[in-house]
Amino acid sequence: VPPQPHVMELEMMTPLRLLKHKRLMQPDRFEWEFFIRTLVRRITSLAYFHQNHEETIDFNALFANAAEHQIVQKLVFEQNHRYSNRQKKEIPLDGLKGVMELKFTKQDDPLWPWIWMGQYTHNGKSTVMGLGQYQLKNGLVHQPKTS
């Protein structure tokens, strides 16, 4: 994980599908804390089920910091569909796309490593279809090695 910047951009590369109370989150009701909770839940679940690694951290203290971030979001709701041969119908792949500017209010924020790892795990619903991918900007993008 690189050093934490003071300000960064988080760009949604593919639609982000966050379900809250069985409804897709819309740009006008976007909640950064909910984004962080689903991201941490996804990463800890992947670590537990695929690496047999159980986290022993205080999640309440971790999530308490999420509200301290200053977020400026420029998200739009994008509508996409795919055809399912199994179900013989179109399946919606709607979600949020755009950019969020994030300002950290303190140095060494405990959420920074989670935000960084989220680039590789994606977030939200339908991640196995490639949705929920985001990329960190301002020199923080991991460049794949060329052989």
Q: Where are the domains of the chain?
A: 7-136
Rg of the chain, C-alpha, whole Å: 16
> Interhelix angle for 112-121 vs 32-51, to 10°?
70
Q: How many angstroms separate the CA atoms of 95 and 45, rounded?
A: 22
Residue 143 has pLDDT above 60, yes or no: no
Q: Find out if CATH 3.50.50.60 is the number for domain 7-136.
A: no
Q: Among candidates 107, 123, 104, 98, which has minimal Cα distance to 27?
A: 98
| pLDDT single digits (tens) 13-45 | 999 999 999 999 999 999 999 999 999 999 998
The pLDDT of residue 140 is 54
Taking the model in full, what pTM does it have?
0.84
Least confident stretch, 20-29, 104-113, 132-141: 132-141
| pLDDT single digits (tens) 53-86 | 777 777 887 888 777 888 899 999 999 888 999 9
Indicate the average pLDDT of the chain. Answer: 87
SS3 call for 144: coil
